[in-house]
Structure 1
Amino acid sequence: MSVEDNKRLVARAVTEVINRGNLAAVEELYASEIAAAAREWVAPFRTAFPDVRMETVALVGEGDTVVGHFRCSGTHSGPWMGRPGTGRAFRDVREVYWFTVRGGRIVDWWGLEDNDDRRRQLRAGGAPA
């Protein structure tokens, strides 16, 4: 696959899995050995923030690596980090993720999220005691 193909795959994963909550798409987009982990990462976040939207700011690719800069928004409707839903919203929280793509599937990912900003916007404070 080309770098552009890899970027399209990552963009599709964000649209289908994160924004639409289509966890069935994980089987097609992620390698089988990490598909369960991808679902376990996304499902609780979508429960906490069912209207979550990740806007792609930039996707940069080189070889089998795609780095994405995203802005994430949503409403806190369910448990997150030990706190019950508040009904409060967060907007444009910055996130950066690194994806490795091989054979037309995501085989690895890791990222950084500005959860301090998310907590501030939600007025959620620190971790529960």
Structure 2
Amino acid sequence: MSTEENKAVVRRYFEEARNKGDLGVVEEIFASEYIRKTRRGPQPGTHEGQKEIIVRWRAAFPDYKDVVLSLVAEDDYVAAQVLFSGTHTGVFEFGGLGPWAPTGEHMGVLEFFLYRLADRKIVETSAVWDRFDFVEQLGLGTTPAPTLTA
């Protein structure tokens, strides 16, 4: 696939699966088994697991929206810079955060993704986002001040 075709697959994921909640897209663009590179190391990913992630976020933030700010592709990789936002009106629990009752607060957080694709499918994914900023925007804590030592 060309880099432009790879970028189109990734853009479709954000626009159709995450923004519109079309879970059928997950099976079309993710390999049946893929690798999720997380802060806890590589984890196996499945269609059902990816769908659950989308459902959880959309349940906690019904007005959830991803804005793709940039996509950069090289070889089989696509990097995405995304601003995700929404209003916390449902219970939230994800990735060791929560469960948190709705706060009614609106948040907007920058996230960076790196995808590897093969045969028009996402086979590897990783994401980095500012959890402290997210928690602070929801009114659930404050970002710790940096500690300086001599």
TM-score normalized with structure 2 length: 0.79
Identity between Structure 1 and Structure 2 (%) = 35
RMSD of equivalent CA atoms: 1.3
The structure whose residues are more often helix, as a share, is 1
Contact 2:103 2:139 in 1 (8 A): no
Alpha-carbon distance in structure 2 between the residues aligned to 1:17 and 1:3: 21
**For residues 30 and 39 of structure 1, what CA distance do their matches in structure 2 show?**
11
The 5 Å alignment of 1:74-85 reads: 74-80=86-92, 81-85=98-102
> Where do residues 3-22 of structure 1 align in structure 2 (5 Å cutoff)?
3-22=3-22
Task: Give per-residue Cα distances to partners, 1:39-84, cap 9 Å, x unaligned.
Answer: 1222111111121111111111111110101111101011122111
Higher strand share: 2
Cα separation, 1, equivalents of 2:85 and 2:136: 13
2:66 is the counterpart of 1:54: yes
Q: Please say which structure displays the higher CA radius of gyration.
A: 2
AA paired with 1:84?
A
Superposed CA deviations along residues 71-126 of structure 1, whole A, max 9, x for unmatched, are 111010111221111221112x1100111111111111110111211111110227
Could you tell me which runs of 5 or more consecutive residues in structure 1 were left unpaired when the two chains were aligned.
none
5+ residue gaps, structure 2: 34-45, 93-97, 143-150
TM-score by length of 1: 0.91
Aligned pair count reads 125
Which position in structure 2 is the counterpart of 1:70? Answer: 82
Instruction: Flag as ranges the 4+ runs of structure 1 deviating above 4 A.
Output: none
